[in-house]
A and B are shown apart, each in its own frame.
Chain A
Amino acid sequence: MLVLTRKLGESIAIDDNIKIVVVQIKGKQVRLGIKAPKETKIHREEVYQAIQDQNTEAVQASMSDIARLGEELKKK
């Protein structure tokens, strides 16, 4: 992994079209500004982790759970 040191207001360029700026430094938090083409997907890493966890949980569903769900849903 490439590690760079940057000061407040300084930036990093990735390719010709992506720019990451250090907007604010406050204690342990860093605010980053990201300038990228519209089609670039930018997400916090936790989002991917949460989706992976949800998928892993989703495949645990058993047919007996579904059968119970079917019964519950039918109750008026």
Chain B
Amino acid sequence: MKVKTTRFGELEVNPTDLITFAEGLFGFENLKKYFVVDPGDSTLILWLQSTEDEKVAFPIIEPKIFKPDYIAKLLPADLNGLELDSLQSAKLYSVLTIPGNVTEMSANLKAPIVINSAKKIGKQIVLQDSKLSVKYEMYKELKTYIVNFSSDVFRSTSYDSSITLETGVLKSTKTNTITLEAE
């Protein structure tokens, strides 16, 4: 299918790549269908592009790139509707705000986007941790990462989610992925 976008022009999208956000994103509850655009530039930023409104695309990034110790603790209720059988298919992204002064860019750590990449279902989840910021400035960390590593390293790490399944508790072996807290 062809999808018109203001930023990337007309894109050919495989219908199986469409991700359904049944509840939309906060403030964008009426838009349910998205797909991920990787412009392949050096910023490591991906875009969550709406198919229903060509103007709406959220810049997103994997939080482990700029905050390796980030943990998203999901409650059982958060997983409702995500149909996650295991966390192996869960991808975690932060929504970025990029103002005119790009060095003031920030990531929303409070409400990450979780995508079940196997079933193509997504959800923006508000985490309970009150210390997490909706505007976490992370330009310096992103720059350090980009200056220190070659682009080949990004590619091999960006798909490494290394999550293990323990009895009763889904937990990641790396601290930068998702933890499901259960009693």
Contacts and interface: CB of A to CB of B under 8 A. Distances in A.
A and B assemble together: yes
Interface residues of A, number: 31
Given A38-B183, A41-B126, A48-B126, A72 B103 contact: yes
Nearest to B100: A65
A59 B56 contact: yes
Most buried by B among A54, A70, A74: A54
A51 B142 contact: no
B110 interface: yes
A42 B95 CA distance: 22
Nearest to B39: A66
Interface residues of B, number: 41
Nearest to B55: A59
Contacts of B75: 38-39, 41
Nearest to A52: B27
Contacts of A76: 147
Interface of A: 38-43, 47-48, 50-59, 61-63, 65-70, 72-74, 76
Interface of B: 7, 25-28, 39, 41-43, 45, 55-59, 75-78, 95-100, 102-103, 105, 108, 110-111, 124, 126, 128, 134-135, 142-143, 146-147, 183
